[in-house]
Amino acid sequence: MRSTISGVVIVAALLIAGFLAWQGFHQPFSVTHDLALAACVAGLLIASVLNRRTAPRQAGQQVSKPKIRVESMYYENQPVRLDGCEFVDCCFSNVTFIYDGREPFAFVQPKFGGKITISTKNQQLLPLLDLLRQVEEKKLPVEVLVSET
């Protein structure tokens, strides 16, 4: 929806800007004319920003949920693949979580013990994992905010 609106705004702004530029060649510029042209340019910039922020999701499509539900399992000294799994009431001790970012995962009332390692093949996740490591080292409080834009 936002992509359609920004597309309409871009087309409208281009038409108006073109008309104002054409009119400017035939009449002397005025303050009103300059403000209208500036408003068109601002509209183009805003529409461009809105268009870039639009998620590549189709109308009505929701964020997917984990496909596999795992309940009351105990994992110790082993790798645990996270992609596509929801872990409910599971215990994890000295495990390596493997997450490649292909599918969502979730934990519901988990219990953790021992050393936890996080592994990924997805290079785009490395800066986030490094940030989490640094925050953990400094024992800083973390607040997580989720937004669609």
Instruction: State residue 143's pLDDT score.
Output: 86
What are the pLDDT tens digits along the chain (149 aa)?
A: 444 444 544 444 444 444 444 455 455 545 444 444 444 444 444 444 444 443 444 544 556 789 999 999 999 999 999 999 999 999 999 999 999 989 999 999 999 999 999 999 999 999 988 998 898 899 888 888 887 76
Query: Are 116 and 92 spatial neighbours (Cβ–Cβ below 8 Å)?
Result: yes
76 and 49 share one domain = no
> Does residue 124 fall inside a structural domain?
yes
Q: Which long-range contacts (CB under 8 A, 24 or more apart) does 37-44 make?
A: 40/13, 40/14, 40/16, 41/13, 41/17, 43/9, 43/10, 43/12, 43/13, 44/9, 44/10, 44/13, 44/14, 44/17
> Does residue 61 fall inside a structural domain?
no
Q: Which domain holds residue 74?
A: 68-137
74 and 35 share one domain = no
Q: How many domains does the chain have?
A: 2
> Does residue 119 fall inside a structural domain?
yes
Instruction: State residue 91's pLDDT score.
Output: 97
131 and 82 share one domain = yes
Instruction: State residue 65's pLDDT score.
Output: 87
> Does residue 144 fall inside a structural domain?
no
Nearest to 79 by CA among 121, 130, 132, 128: 121
> Does residue 123 fall inside a structural domain?
yes
45 and 102 share one domain = no
Kindly report whether the global pTM for this prediction surpasses the value 0.95.
no
> Does residue 6 fall inside a structural domain?
yes
Instruction: State residue 30's pLDDT score.
Output: 52
From residue 33, give the alpha-carbon distance in Å to each of 13, 15, 29, 47, 132.
14, 14, 6, 21, 52
72 and 133 share one domain = yes
